Amino acid sequence: MKKLTLPISDETIKDLHVGDPVLLSGVMVTGRDAAHKWMIETFIKKTKPASAEDLVAYEDLKKLLNGSVIYHCGPVVSGLETKEYKFVAAGPTTSIREEPYQADVMQHFNIKGVIGKGGMGKKTLEGCQKTPGVYFHAIGGAASFIAQSVTKVLGVYKYDFGVPEALWVIEVKDFPVVVTMDSHGQSQHEVIENNSRKVLDELLAKPF
């Protein structure tokens, strides 16, 4: 089991291959549907104007995400009223919804890893080769278990997106993931998809 501390260097990323189990420690940021759309529209394609608050968040996020990872997660958070935030349940959400955005977001912010579930497609795989970066798969639904590795909530951006969609800055210790897409163009998801497609074609050809 590899133990990695964030931020991660390019050399370390290139050392990771599909199938490697990894324990991550350090500071990362959560971001899912609303966050990706916002980053693309406001800072990358600039099709929407940035508010003063957006610009402050952007400067902070550039530093936080540089060399670090983004976690596709919409957590259950306690302490909302007192702002003494704590992650109660925090498993990954389905990553494929970020497929149109992910590669551009990775390259813009120099993000070295994406944590989620279900894997991603060709565009992100190419993004992993270019940046370079990897896709880390966490266990979907294992929310209480994963929340235990979140030791601290350091802050939150875009709280108005709602608790699940906000960008939470968290400190983690030994966060358990498996590499399923690497920087060498390998994707476990592509392999399983192709193999299961062959089996399905055989099943469809069988008489009832």
Partner 1 sequence: MQIDITEQMLELIRLTSTNLPPDVEEKILEARERETEGSAAKGAFDTILKNVALSRKQSTPICQDTGTPIFYVYYPEGWSTIKLRAQIRNAMVEATKKNYMRPNAVDAVYDKNSGNNLGGDDFPSIHFEEVEGSTLTIELMLKGGGCENVGAQYSLPDSRLGAGRDLAGVRKVVLDAVQKAQGQGCAPGILGVAIGGDRGTSYAKSKEVLYDKLGTRNADEKLAALEERLTDEANTLGIGPMGFGGKTTVIDTKIVGLHRLPASFYVSVSYMCWAYRRRKLVIDGNSITYS
> Which residue among the candidates 36, 72, 137, 189 is catalytic per the annotation?
36
Residue 108 is a catalytic residue: no
What are the tokens at 43? 């800072």
**What is the b/e burial string over 71-106, where b = at least 16 CB atoms within 10 angstroms of the residue's CB?**
bbbbbebeeeeeeebebebbbbbebbbbbebbbbbb
* Residue among 108 and 164 whose Cβ is closer to partner 1: 164
**C-beta closer to partner 1: residue 34 or 110:** 34
Q: For binding to partner 1 (CB under 8 A), which residues are involved?
A: 19, 21, 34, 73-78, 88-91, 93-94, 96, 117-119, 137, 139-148, 161-165, 176, 178, 180, 188-189, 191-193, 195-197, 199-200, 203-204, 208
Nearest to 187 by CA among 78, 69, 99: 99
Please say which residue, 154 or 200, places its beta carbon nearer to partner 1. Answer: 200
Tokens standing for residue 140: 């979907």
Output the smallest distance, CB 104 to partner 1, in A: 22
Report the residue number, 11 or 198, with the smaller CB distance to partner 1: 198
On whether the CB atoms of residues 170 and 103 are closer than 8 A, the answer is no
The residue type at 51: S
- DSSP helix/strand/coil, 63: helix
66 vs 148, which CB is nearer to partner 1? Answer: 148
Whether 134 and 178 have beta carbons less than 8 Å apart is answered as no
Contacts (Cβ under 8 Å, ≥6 apart) of 176: 21, 22, 23, 138, 139, 146, 149
Nearest approach, Cβ of residue 52 and partner 1 (Å) = 21
Query: Which segments of 31-186 are extended strands (E)?
Result: 69-71, 76-78, 86-89, 113-116, 134-137, 150-157, 167-181
> Looking at the annotation, which residues are catalytic?
36
